[in-house]
Amino acid sequence: MWYYSYNPRPQKHNCSRQCGTIVVPFPFGLEEGCAAREVFQLSCVGKPNSVLQYNDFIGVQYINVSEGIVGIKYNSSFVEILFNMFSQFRFSSQGVVSNIFGKGPNLYVDPTESASVQWAVANLTCQQAQQNTSTYACVSTNSSCTRVISTMQGYVGYRCTCLPGYDGNPYIPDGCKDIDECLQTPRICKELCHNTEGNYSCTMCPDHTEYDVIRMQCIPRRNQSLLLGESHNNQFHTDKRVY
């Protein structure tokens, strides 16, 4: 049952979340009880140069929970196995998406040069998934449910994503964090940028000031500074007149 059921909370504490240089975020896991379901169970093999694997045929290069994709690598013999196991699917140069992991509508390979895997947490619609809070995967605040679409099979399930203005892991509590757009994109505003929760706003510099793009702050206008300087100089010369 663990293969098909989704547990939004790891059964084990202090789970390892890194294999070599690759971060392994939930719902994936390395040890038993650390993944949300069996299909997300990975293996970290070899020391000191650890390699992350899904199975003997598939190596994992990266996991992106925000985009719902996993980078994989596989050898040519594995491609032949794919054809033998899933003869009902046809690969094409456009990268037809096909189920490569057997049971459950969870992981789908895009057989293009990018070798990316698209994954869904369950073969449910968002509306169906949200009816059962004990198994609903999108547990972070500021997260939402999104559909996973396969070119060949159509709708295959749902996954989670952070709302616009947030980034992180929507599968863990408080995993979606506010993005500071002002820091992330320094020139996003013409002048002053103010980060807000899940958003940002732009304002102009106050009167008699201008925006310095180097210091990223408002400074006195240059022509006004020159005028002030001339005013002081005129006053100095006036004070030195002889009567």
Q: How many domains does the chain have?
A: 2
**135 Cβ contact list (under 8 Å, min separation 6):** 5, 6, 7, 8, 122, 129
- Tell me the C-alpha distance between 77 and 30, whole Å: 26
Q: What is the DSSP string of 225-239?
A: HHHHHHHHHHHHHHH
Say whether both 129 and 225 belong to one domain.
no
Domain that holds residue 24: 18-179
The reply to whether 96 and 138 lie within a common domain is: yes
| Number of Cβ atoms within 10 Å of the Cβ of 191 | 16
Same domain for 207 and 87, yes or no, is no
Residues 189, 173 within the same domain: no
On whether residue 3 sits in a domain, the answer given is: no
Closest CA to 103 of 176, 37, 183: 37
Q: How far is CA 76 from the centre of its chain?
A: 30
Domain boundary among 153, 179, 205: 179
Q: What is the pTM of this model?
A: 0.74
- Tens digit of pLDDT for each residue in 175-215? 999 999 999 998 899 999 999 999 999 999 999 999 988 88
Which of the listed ranges 47-61, 158-172, 210-224 does the model predict with the highest average pLDDT? 158-172
Note the pLDDT tens digit of each residue in 123-172. Answer: 899 999 999 999 999 999 999 999 988 777 788 899 999 999 999 999 99
Pairing status of strand 98-99 against strand 43-45: unpaired
Q: Of 163, 179, 195, which residue constitutes the final position of a domain? A: 179
